[in-house]
C-alpha cells in the first residue's frame, strides 16, 4: 500500500481515538447516564475535557480535506517522495496538535496546525503541478 494511503488510514484511526479521552472525561464529570443520553443541553466541557473535545472536532474538520487530497493524488497517479512526506507531516502534526491542545499549550498548538496546513498545500501542489 502506498505511504499516502497508510498515513490516511493512521490519520483516520487518530480521529477515532481522539474521541476517547473527552468521552471518558465527560463520564467522570457527568456520569454515564447523562453521557449516554440524548445530550440535550449538554455542556461544552471545561478544562482539558473541553480542549480534548475541540481537538477532536478540529481533527474531523481537517481530515475531510486531507482525505480528499490524498485520494485525488493517489487516483491521479501523482504520488512522489514529496506527497509521502506531506502525509507523514500531516499525521505527525495532528498528533502534536492533539497532545498540546489537550495540555493547553496554545502557541505550539498553532504551530502544529500550521504544519498541517503546509502538508495539505504540498498535496495540492503535487496534484495541480
pLDDT at 103 over 90: yes
Cα three-residue angle 44-102-30, rounded to 5 degrees: 40
Q: What pLDDT, on a 0 to 100 scale, did the predictor assign at position 27?
A: 95
Q: How far apart are CA 51 and CA 100, in angstroms?
A: 10
Number of structural domains in the chain: 1
What is the DSSP secondary structure assignment for residue 105, as one 8-state letter? Answer: -
Contact between 88 and 64 under an 8 Å Cβ cutoff? The reply is no
CATH of residue 108's domain is 1.20.120.550
pLDDT greater at residue 104 or residue 43: 104
Query: Could you tell me which of 88, 89, 75, 72 has the C-alpha nearest to residue 125?
Result: 72
pLDDT tens column, 45-54: 899 999 999 9
Taken in order 4, 5, 8, 14, the sign of the CA dihedral is negative
Measure the CA–CA gap between 14 and 29, rounded to whole angstroms.
24
- Residue 79 CA to residue 37 CA, distance in Å, equals 45
Of the pLDDT bands very low, low, confident and very high (cuts 50, 70, 90), residue 108 is: very high
pLDDT single digits (tens) 13-55: 999 999 999 999 999 999 999 898 888 888 888 999 999 999 9
Domain that holds residue 30: 3-128
Amino acid at each position: 500500500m502506498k505511504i499516502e494511503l497508510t498515513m490516511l488510514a493512521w490519520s483516520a484511526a487518530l480521529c477515532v481515538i481522539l474521541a476517547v479521552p473527552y468521552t471518558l472525561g465527560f463520564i467522570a464529570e457527568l456520569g454515564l447516564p447523562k453521557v449516554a443520553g440524548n445530550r440535550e443541553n449538554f455542556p461544552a466541557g471545561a478544562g482539558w475535557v473541553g480542549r480534548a473535545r475541540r481537538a477532536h472536532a478540529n481533527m474531523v474538520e481537517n481530515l475531510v480535506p486531507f482525505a480528499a487530497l490524498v485520494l485525488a493524488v493517489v487516483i491521479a497517479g501523482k504520488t512522489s517522495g514529496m506527497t509521502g512526506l506531506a502525509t507523514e507531516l500531516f499525521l505527525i502534526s495532528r498528533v502534536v496538535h492533539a497532545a498540546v491542545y489537550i495540555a493547553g499549550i496554545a502557541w505550539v498548538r498553532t504551530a502544529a496546525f500550521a504544519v498541517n496546513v503546509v502538508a495539505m498545500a504540498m498535496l495540492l501542489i503535487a496534484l495541480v503541478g
